[in-house]
Amino acid sequence: MENLALIDSFSEFKDDKQIDRVTLMAILEDVFRNALKKKYGSDDNFDIIVNPDKGDLEIWRNRVVVADGEVEDPNEEISLSAARKIEPDFEIGEDVSEEVKLIDLGRRSILALRQNLISKIHEHDNTIIYKQFKDLEGEIYTAEVHHIRHRAVILLDDDGNEIILPKEKQIPSDFFRKGDNVRGIIESVDLKGNKPTIIMSRAAPVFLEKLFEQEIPEVFDGLITVKKVVRIPGEKAKVAVDSYDDRIDPVGACVGMKGSRIHGIVRELGNENIDVINYTSNLNLYITRALSPAKVTSIKIDEEKKRAEVILRPEEVSKAIGRGGHNIRLAGQLTGYEIDVLREGAEEDVELSEFSDEIEGWIIQEFNKIGLDTAKSILEHDINDLVKRTDLEEETIRDVINILKEEFEE
C-alpha cells in the first residue's frame, strides 16, 4: 500500500461524524509517529509531510552517513555503502533522507495503525460531543426514545448522540414509548473514560424555569424575571416572578387569560399544579403569598432562626398545608423559612404532644395521667403541686416548665 492518497484508504473509519480532512490528517500524523516510535525507538529523526488538500502523506527518515562497520544507532546512522545504494555520490558525514513506505512498517504495525486510528477518531468525536453538550448544560433539549430500561430511558438525538434520562429524574407520571420525542434539561455531562455521559432531567426546578423562558415571551425578553422555582415533580410547584416595569403584571403575564399561557407548561409536566406568585423583598408579604391559596391572619417572624409562625383561621389551615403537606413545604423552600402553622384562637395554648421532640414521651404520659395535656394546663400549676401529683423529679418538672415557657415568650 502506498502512502499516496492514504487518507482515502482510511475514510471508512471516519464513522458518520464528518470529521474534517485537516483534523483527520493531524490524527494520522500522530498515529504514524506512535508507530515509528514502536518500530525504531524514536521518531525524532523522521519528517512526516501531510497535504490535506491532496490527501497524501509522506514519511522520510533522516540519517547521518558513517564509515562501514561504525554504525552504532541504525535508526540515526547509515553505513557509507548502504547510503551509496540510495545515491552513489554520498560521503561520510552527509545527511541521507530516505522515504519510508507503509509496507516497510510490517503487517502487524499496519493492523495496529488501523486500530489506533479508529480509537483516535472516536476519541476526537467524543471530545467534540463532550464540549458541545457541556455548553448546553442547563438548557432544554429534545431527543427521541430509543429504548426503555428499568432504571432509565435511553434517548438519541438527530446526530445519534446517546442521552440518558434516569428514572429518578423523570416526572412520576411520565410514560414513554419508543419513538416518542422527550423534552428535558441537560443536567450534567461527564467524561467516563473517553465516552461522554449525558444526563437529562425533567424533575429539576431549572427545567420549569426554562419552560417559562420558552413559553412566555416577557420572560424570554427579560421583562419578567424568574426569581426562584421550587417543585415536587408531577405534584406541585411554586414560581416567584418579578418585573422591573410597573406597567407589567408578572403573574398575569405568566398565567395568561384563563391560564392560556401556563397551560402548555402544566401539560408538559404531567399536570403539575403551578402557583405563580409576585416576588417581594417584604418578608411578611412574601411568606403570605407563598402560602397561597391560604389566607393568612398574621405572621410572627424570627429572622435569626429563620422561622415564621403563621396564624390562620381554622378553615384556612388545610389550604396552607396542602395535600400531602406539599404547599407548606414548597412555601418554606421558596422563602427559605421554616413555617409553623397555628389556628387562630388556638395560639393561646399548645398540645403537650407537640413538644415530643424536646420532652420524652414517658414524661408527657405522666402529665396526661393527671389530666394535664396542654402547655398552659401545666404552667398554671405550682411546681410543688406537680411534684406531689406525679412520679416526676422536681428537676425534671422544672426542665419541662422552662421548655413550655419558651413557647409563649414574645
Residues with pLDDT less than 50, the chain = 1-7, 9, 13-16, 347, 410
Is 173 found in the same domain as 208? Answer: no
pTM score, whole prediction: 0.63
The set of residues, in sequence order, having a beta carbon less than 8 Å from that of 189 and lying 6+ positions away, is 130, 133, 134, 136, 137, 196, 197, 198, 199
CATH code for position 18: 3.30.1480
Is the link from the previous residue into 196 a cis peptide, with omega within 30 of 0?
no
Does residue 1 lie within any of the structural domains?
no
Residue at 392 is within a domain: yes
Distance CA 342, CA 347 (A): 6
Residue at which a domain ends, from 347, 371, 399: 347
Angle CA 315–321–327, to nearest 5 = 130
Q: Which residue has the cell 396552607?
A: 320
* Amino acid identity for residue 258 in this structure: K
Same domain, 296 and 266: no
Last residue of a domain, one of 174, 201, 228: 201
In a domain, 16, yes or no: yes
Contact between residue 211 and residue 268 where contact means Cβ atoms under 8 Å apart = yes
**144-153 burial string, b = 16+ CB within 10 Å, else e?**
ebeeeeeebb
Q: Are residues 104 and 28 in the same domain?
A: yes
Q: How far apart are alpha carbons 189 and 85 in whole angstroms?
A: 58
Task: Tell me: do 225 and 237 sit in the same domain.
Answer: yes
CA distance 346 to 324: 23
Q: Where in the sequence is the domain holding 370, given as residue range(s)?
A: 352-408
Asked whether residue 172 falls in the same domain as residue 284, the answer is no
DSSP letters for 65-96: EE-TT--S-TTTEEEHHHHHHH-TT--TT-EE
| Residues 15, 125 within the same domain | yes
Domain annotation covers residue 211: yes
pLDDT at 410: 47
Same domain, 267 and 362: no
**Neighbouring-strand partners of residue 200:** 186
Largest CA distance in the chain: 124
Do 380 and 404 sit in the same domain of this protein? yes
Within a domain: 62:
yes
> Quick one: 20 and 99 in the same domain?
yes
Q: Are residues 320 and 392 in the same domain?
A: no
Secondary structure (3-state) at 125? helix
C-alpha distances out from residue 306 to 230, 284, 327, Å? 18, 12, 18
Q: What is the CATH number of the domain that holds 301?
A: 3.30.300.20
Domain harbouring 160, CATH code: 2.40.50.140
Q: How many structural domains is the chain composed of?
A: 5
Q: Are residues 302 and 342 in the same domain?
A: yes
Residue 293 lies in a domain: yes
Cβ–Cβ under 8 Å, residues 57 and 28:
yes
Residue 235 lies in a domain: yes
What is the pLDDT, as a whole number, of residue 65? 87
Q: Which of 196, 226, 213 is nearest to 139 (CA)?
A: 213
Among 99, 131, 163, residue at a domain's last position:
131
Same domain, 56 and 117: yes
pLDDT value, residue 17: 52
Are 233 and 203 within 8 A, CB to CB? yes
Looking at residue 53, what is its pLDDT? 59
Is 361 a member of any domain?
A: yes
State residue 16's pLDDT score: 45
